[in-house]
Amino acid sequence: MRWTIKPKPESHKIEALKNALQVDEVIATLLIQRGIETYDAAKSFFRPDLSELHDPFLMRDMDKAVARIEQALEAGENIMVYGDYDVDGTTSVALISSYLRTRQDNIATYIPDRYDEGYGVSYKGIDFAHDNDITLIVALDCGIKAIDKVAYAKEKGIDFIICDHHRPGAELPDAAAVLDPKRDDCKYPYKELCGCGVGFKLIQALAEREGLGLQDLQVYLDLVATAIGADIVPITGENRVLAYYGLQVINSNPRAGIQAILNQVKKTEFTITDVVFIVAPRINAAGRMKHGNYAVQLLTEQDLTLAEQFAAEIEQFNLDRREADQDITKQALIQIETNKEQERLTTVVYQEDWHKGVIGIVASRLTETYYRPTLVFTKSGDKLAASARSVIGFDVYNALEACSEHIEQFGGHKYAAGLTLKQENYEAFKQAFEDAVSNTIDRKLLTPELKIDARISFNEITPKFYRILKQFAPLGPGNMSPIFITEDVLDTGYSKKVGKDEEHLRVVLKQPNAPTFTGIGFGLGDKIDIVSTTKPFNIAYSVDENHWNGEVSLQLKLRDLNTW
């Protein structure tokens, strides 16, 4: 890893904020690094308020979307809520359908089959709507590029409202309304909403017309927080407010489906990290291994006993997903080593029988291993389908755009995308992708970067310091857990490798005239040689709590260590 220490803010700014908030220099530094330079900005950061959410009608086409839905409700039209099979899509469908059912009963939901229909709006879904006399489809987390499909629906007398957050193409679908803050002509102040976030803005606008306030909509925020965590969007601005209140709902009064998932683990308080690693994988497993309808059914169920039955079913899907993911990752690693693929600047692997539902997870694992822009392909009907993942700082979407002559269809984000292509184009695409990356990537991006927020000594790690750090939550992109560096630490002689394969490192470290701290470094077992000498070394870490035998103590969560 390459350690990059963030520039220290100007001393007069640190001093001013330190005095205004009555905090120490390190806390003031961390806040200014996050763009928080005044007392009021800090108050908003530490105490987010729903009043800080933007007016939903600032979003382009919101007035059209609300008018079309109100028209449908007044006329008793059949409405279908359509969303993708991932967490963002299924939570969005649960959100909008739950809200609309408070207004009328004839609300259908539709999740496409990952294997039969693929990603996004499908002709099969439109045909289903037509066969069931549905005249309005609200599409969530998809649809921004569904130009032909929206036109097909229009021929059948079906209107679309698109609620998406992916990058639009040059042309927008001819829908009744297209809500997407990433539209070039959309002046909405916050651009980083997830699909469920855009859905929430829609119900905020509908509720406003109904005379309801944000307090009436808090019950839906457990879904929004789950989508924010799962979709890895920045936890800044509106996302931070929505995640903050969504976590309050998750911890106090979540919907039956989320409560049923939480009941499967032994925890009492849940953070956004728990949402990412406990709730999201289980919701995702439904669409990966079986069908996304299972997730919507779970998230809209109001009876806890039934929800627990659905959650148990989904937990089995999750176990199956985990097994498939491990097997395919092993096969992919063998393929890479055998073909010496690791010598390239990209990782592109293919096997026709790999499970389409887990290739995205496998792509993430391979990116962690080789730290290269990565594509994992499998057979999907008569075509090949792939999931793409990237390294921090490199836009894989742009790289795919440069190879578009070889691709049938693609879409996604800077760091994650999906595509399909014809089998005969695979080798040409693979070389084109390697060339596109080679010609544009800064080579230093191929070494993982560890961004350090501040240098501190062990004397500065106090219970008060940690209490303030805890209030930086919810953490995530744009507001990551602060990483510190402490130099010239020494082993007390009690450090050792731990874990089943001794892959982790448990350390007990000291500095002169300072408290001793215990730390854990996951996956750092091979660095024991640095620790076990009598020479001082440097550590990069975040500060965490260790709960053991009813006692709570501060510990260091090691990210890396070196001797410089």
Q: Do 173 and 104 fall into the same domain?
A: yes
34 within some domain: no
Q: Which long-range contacts (CB under 8 A, 24 or more apart) does 349-352 make?
A: 349/375, 349/376, 349/377, 350/376, 350/377, 350/378, 350/384, 350/386, 350/426, 351/377, 351/378, 352/378, 352/379
32 within some domain: no
pLDDT at position 114: 84
Helix (H, G, I), strand (E, B) or coil at 99: helix
pLDDT at position 21: 95
pLDDT at position 413: 80
Based on DSSP, count helices (H) and strands (E) in the chain, helices before strands: 20, 19
Q: Do 348 and 249 fall into the same domain?
A: no
pLDDT at position 169: 86
Domain boundaries, position 65: 56-313
Whether this prediction's pTM lies above 0.75 is answered by yes
20 within some domain: no
Q: Which of 289, 313, 337 is the last residue of a domain?
A: 313
Residue 322 burial class via C-beta count within 10 angstroms: exposed 0-12, middle 13-18, buried 19 and up: middle
User: Cα–Cα distance between 384 and 356 in angstroms, integer?
Assistant: 10
CATH code, domain with 388: 3.10.310.30
171 within some domain: yes
Q: Do 299 and 372 fall into the same domain?
A: no
User: Cα–Cα distance between 118 and 88 in angstroms, integer?
Assistant: 16
pLDDT at position 371: 94
pLDDT at position 488: 94
Q: Do 259 and 350 fall into the same domain?
A: no
Of the CA atoms within 13 Å of residue 463, those in its CB half-sphere come to 2
Question: Whose CA is closest to 362, among 336, 398, 388?
Answer: 388
Strands 504-510 and 159-163: unpaired
47 within some domain: no
Q: Which of 252, 285, 313 is the last residue of a domain?
A: 313
Residue with tokens 């080579």: 443
Beta bridge partners of 78: 134
Q: Do 238 and 378 fall into the same domain?
A: no
Task: Give the count of domains, the chain.
Answer: 3
400: left (phi over 0), alpha (psi -120 to 50) or beta: alpha
- Cβ(94)–Cβ(75) below 8 Å: no
Q: Do 356 and 479 fall into the same domain?
A: no
List b or e across 90-127, with b for residues whose CB sees 16 or more CB atoms inside 10 angstroms: bbbbbbbbbbbeeeeebbebbbbbbeebbbbbbeebbe
Helix-helix angle 293-300:87-100, to 10 degrees? 50
Task: Return phi, psi of residue 376, to 5°.
Answer: -120, 120
pLDDT tens over the chain, length 564 residues: 899 999 999 999 999 999 999 999 999 999 999 999 999 999 999 999 999 999 999 999 999 999 999 999 999 999 999 999 999 999 999 999 999 999 999 999 999 998 888 888 999 999 999 999 999 999 999 999 999 999 999 999 999 999 999 989 899 999 999 999 999 999 999 999 999 999 999 999 999 999 999 999 999 999 999 999 998 899 999 999 999 999 999 999 999 999 999 999 888 889 999 999 999 999 999 988 889 999 999 999 999 999 999 999 999 999 999 999 999 999 999 999 887 777 789 999 999 999 998 999 999 999 999 999 999 999 988 999 999 999 999 999 999 999 999 999 888 788 889 999 999 999 999 999 999 999 999 999 999 999 999 999 999 999 999 999 999 999 998 999 999 999 999 999 999 999 988 999 999 999 999 999 999 999 999 999 999 888 999 999 999 998 888 788 899 999 999 987
223 within some domain: yes
Cis bond leading into 474, ω under 30°? yes
pLDDT at position 503: 93
Q: Do 456 and 441 fall into the same domain?
A: no
50 within some domain: no
CATH code, domain with 526: 2.40.50.460
Q: Do 134 and 199 fall into the same domain?
A: yes
Q: To 5 degrees, how large is the angle CA 365–CA 370–CA 375?
A: 60
CATH code, domain with 105: 3.90.1640.30
Structure tokens at 385: 């389908």
Where are the extended beta strands (E) located within 204-352?
347-350
Ordered DSSP codes for 327-340: HHHHHHHHHHHHTT
456 within some domain: yes
pLDDT at position 451: 94
